[in-house]
Amino acid sequence: MYRVDKIQTRADLEAAYSVRREVFVDEQRVPEELELDEHDEAPGTIHFLARDGEDKAVGTARLRPYGEAGVAKVERVAVRRALRGSGIGRLLMEAVEAEAARLGFKKLVLYAQAHARGFYEKLGYRAYGDPFDEAGIEHIAMDKPVR
């Protein structure tokens, strides 16, 4: 019913940006200048797009090298509000993790919004450190070894 692909075209990247604007800018009131950033088109950044059976963009995520060698960061995981709980987030994360393994990364890190912590814990991520504010939303740092 849903599929996740690595983004290959500008049109697909724009579709991912549209999902992110809807979720983060419109719904969560994150300033657009913070949401779309310098990492979006940086070398090594990989974007993913989830589509429904009608080929409509329904979710997105990005993966990029981060900090020390062997570490990648998962960011901008977003699913359209009406489709949350349908398994799209899990499919996105499975695609991201498979690509990270294929590329030889050893560890994934992410900054989860506090309300999404349980989602990531179910996927094997471990919280560390204290909660912090990012764009006016409480987050927690999490990580997971790549298998």
pLDDT in 10s for each residue of the chain, 147 residues: 899 999 999 999 999 999 999 999 999 999 988 899 999 999 999 999 999 999 999 999 999 999 888 999 999 999 999 999 999 999 999 999 999 999 999 999 999 999 999 999 999 999 999 999 999 999 999 999 998
Domain containing residue 62 = 3-145
Q: Residues 6 or more apart from 50 whose CB is under 8 A from it?
A: 2, 3, 4, 57, 58, 59, 60, 79, 88, 91, 92
**Residue 118 Rama label (left phi>0; alpha psi -120 to 50; beta):** alpha
The pLDDT, as a whole number, for residue 10 is 96
Task: CATH number of the domain at 9, please.
Answer: 3.40.630.30
The pLDDT, as a whole number, for residue 26 is 95
The pLDDT, as a whole number, for residue 67 is 86
Per the structure, the count of domains in the chain is: 1
Tokens encoding 51? 């589509």
Task: Output the furthest CA–CA distance in the chain (Å, rounded).
Answer: 42
Tokens encoding 59? 């979710």
CA angle 105, 109, 114 (to 5 degrees): 160
- The H or E element spanning position 18 is helix 10-20
